[in-house]
């Protein structure tokens, strides 16, 4: 049972600390959290603390950052498999048109529960109807970066102008401690230059991030080039839309020139390997090349309609092995880089390096207790832990999950609400949506 009143401070004693600090140090030690932040990390912390946890059987790892998803699609898992992107979107858009705030919130709660149980403590979302997602984030204690989808008014099913909807969403939620509202132009295929620039201006004015799909498929690139004479990233550059605080999802079909423009403008990329492979987009996000060019790259699961899981650990494994395969180079994207994508690089992408992504004093207490005795973590040798996290750990190895110092998962049990109630609501939503 969760305690009625959570402790004001907790000391994790004797853990294997996978700090993800600048030196990427991994060592045995103590970590203390209080009032939502990490206060001390060291070999032996003596600060007075209300709750002491024997963490000797655990690795302490920064919470994982899912840099691209559509979490409210939970009930649509498996609804549109084994189709090309055209058939996939046709099926999804037909269902999307039927959705209401209740089933959106039920789906979001389902997805957030799955993410928390998989060690995700922050996620970046792109969808319409983000109020429902925000309510689920508020209920379940995760950290949500919620992008309201903006597209041309004649192409949307939203009532009202999407950019106005985005503005009022931002105004409604900008004071929530764990919710960061933002603007999300859906993609160049549904946004004119004026729509895109209006979205960008709104983000600038409100000081929010800008999140968008970019160069996911060949078709998108070729059609945009046929229409405008420019590949998507170069077109965005030409209209003056690129800039810092922007996260492009997918980034599969990028030329060296486009990578150069993203890098110079401080645009980051969320790599989504499972989704890209399942939809057979054909190419592979050039993670290695982008990192070499100075582009910040994070990792996203995309939605359960195209992944079909929200497991960041599974995504990390795939990101690591796919890049090696793509480059014919077994040394490409090594284990440490894989873990970086899901932690420190994800934090950079969100502009939150100062308080997310690593276990260091002063940062937010978003962290995981990973069971060193779980079959997928054996042998639990300190020199192999980063490898195990990157290549073998399963979600079941994640024993406990903290966000903002609050324990949301303990011994694989979701604490804020009973999973069974969340599940039943999600099944009901699926019942009305699958038709």
Q: Which of 283, 351 has the CB closer to a second copy?
A: 283
Position 143 contacts a second copy (CB under 8 A):
no
Sign of CA dihedral 182, 131, 416, 72: negative
Position 110 contacts a second copy (CB under 8 A):
yes
Q: Which of 122, 306 has the CB closer to a second copy?
A: 306
Pick from 160, 207, 282, 418 the residue near a second copy by CB under 8 A. 282
Q: Which of 239, 332 has the CB closer to a second copy?
A: 332
Size of the site for a second copy (CB under 8 A): 70
Position 219 contacts a second copy (CB under 8 A):
no
Q: How far is the CB of 318 from a second copy (least distance, A)?
A: 7
Position 101 contacts a second copy (CB under 8 A):
no
Q: How far is the CB of 379 from a second copy (least distance, A)?
A: 3
Q: How far is the CB of 419 from a second copy (least distance, A)?
A: 7
User: 65 and 298 in contact (C-beta within 8 Å)?
Assistant: yes
Position 322 contacts a second copy (CB under 8 A):
yes
**Rounded distance, CA 65 to CA 144, Å?**
10
Q: Per-residue x/- mask for a second copy, residues 389 to 408, rule CB under 8 A?
A: --xx-xxx------------
Q: Which of 41, 104 has the CB closer to a second copy?
A: 104
The tokens for 243 are: 């800039």
Looking at the DSSP assignment, which residues form a beta bridge with residue 423?
none
Position 278 contacts a second copy (CB under 8 A):
yes
Which has the closest alpha carbon to 33: 313, 347, 341, 369?
369
CA atoms within 13 A on the CB side of 411: 2
Pick from 272, 279, 316, 350 the residue near a second copy by CB under 8 A. 279
Instruction: Give the range of 20-28, 151-159, 240-248, 277-285 binding a second copy by CB under 8 A.
Output: 277-285
**Rounded distance, CA 388 to CA 382, Å?**
10
CA 352 to chain CA mean position, Å: 13
3-state helix, strand, coil in the chain (%, to 5): 40, 25, 35
User: 416 and 141 in contact (C-beta within 8 Å)?
Assistant: yes
Q: Per-residue x/- mask for a second copy, residues 292 to 321, rule CB under 8 A?
A: ------------x--xxx-x--x--xx-xx
Site for a second copy in 51-80 (CB under 8 A): 74-75, 77-79
Position 94 contacts a second copy (CB under 8 A):
no
Pick from 257, 354, 378, 421 the residue near a second copy by CB under 8 A. 378
Identify the DSSP state of 364.
B
The tokens for 48 are: 């007075």
Long-range contacts from 427-430, C-beta under 8 angstroms, 24+ separation: 427/75, 428/103, 428/106, 429/74, 429/75, 429/102, 429/103, 429/106, 429/107, 430/75, 430/76
Position 331 contacts a second copy (CB under 8 A):
yes
Parallel, antiparallel or unpaired: strands 246-250 and 210-214? parallel
CA 403 to chain CA mean position, Å: 14
Site for a second copy in 416-435 (CB under 8 A): 419-420, 423, 426-427, 430-431, 434
CA angle at 118 for the pair 414 and 435, rounded to the nearest 5°: 80
Residues engaged in binding a second copy (CB under 8 A)? 74-75, 77-79, 81-85, 88, 110, 113-114, 117, 274, 276-282, 284, 304, 307-309, 311, 314, 317-318, 320-322, 324-325, 327-332, 334-335, 373, 375-376, 378-381, 383-384, 387-388, 391-392, 394-396, 412, 419-420, 423, 426-427, 430-431, 434
């Amino acid at each position: 049972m969760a305690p009625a009143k959570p402790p004001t401070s907790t000391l994790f004693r004797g853990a294997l600390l996978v700090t993800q600090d600048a030196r990427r140090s991994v060592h045995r030690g103590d970590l203390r959290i209080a009032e939502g932040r990490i206060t001390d990390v060291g070999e032996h912390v003596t600060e007075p603390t209300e709750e002491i946890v024997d963490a000797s059987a655990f690795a302490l790892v920064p919470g994982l950052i899912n840099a691209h998803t559509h979490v409210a699609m939970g009930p649509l898992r498996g609804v549109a498999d084994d189709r090309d992107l055209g058939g996939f979107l046709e099926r999804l858009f037909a269902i999307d048109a039927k959705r209401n705030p209740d089933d959106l919130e039920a789906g979001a709660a389902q997805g957030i529960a799955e993410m928390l149980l998989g060690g995700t403590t922050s996620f970046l979302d792109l969808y319409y109807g983000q109020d429902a997602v925000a309510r689920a984030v508020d209920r379940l204690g995760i950290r949500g970066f919620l992008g309201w989808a903006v597209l041309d008014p004649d192409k949307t099913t939203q009532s009202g102008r999407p950019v106005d909807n985005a503005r009022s969403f931002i105004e409604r939620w900008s004071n929530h401690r764990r919710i960061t509202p933002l603007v999300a132009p859906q993609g160049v295929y549904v946004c004119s230059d004026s729509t895109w620039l209006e979205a960008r201006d709104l983000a600038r004015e409100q000081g929010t991030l800008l999140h968008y799909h970019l160069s996911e498929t060949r078709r998108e690139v070729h059609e945009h080039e046929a229409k405008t004479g420019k590949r998507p990233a170069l077109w965005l550059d030409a209209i003056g839309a690129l800039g810092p605080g922007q996260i492009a999802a997918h980034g599969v079909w990028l030329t060296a020139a486009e990578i150069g423009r993203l890098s110079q403008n401080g645009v980051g990329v969320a790599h989504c390997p499972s989704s890209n492979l399942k939809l057979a987009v054909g190419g592979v996000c050039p993670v290695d090349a982008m990192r070499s060019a100075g582009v910040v790259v994070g990792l996203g699961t995309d939605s359960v309609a195209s992944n079909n899981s929200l497991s960041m650990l599974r995504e990390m494994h795939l990101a690591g092995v796919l890049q090696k395969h793509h480059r014919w180079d077994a040394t490409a994207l090594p284990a440490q880089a894989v873990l970086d994508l899901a932690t420190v690089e994800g934090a950079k992408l969100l502009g939150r390096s100062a308080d997310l992504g690593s276990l260091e004093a002063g940062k937010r207490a978003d962290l995981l207790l990973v069971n060193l005795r779980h079959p997928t973590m054996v042998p639990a040798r300190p020199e192999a832990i980063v490898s195990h996290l990157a290549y073998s750990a399963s979600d079941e190895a994640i024993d406990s999950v903290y966000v903002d110092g609050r324990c949301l998962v303990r011994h694989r049990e979701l604490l804020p609400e009973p999973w069974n109630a969340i599940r039943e609501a999600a099944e009901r939503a699926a019942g009305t949506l699958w038709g």
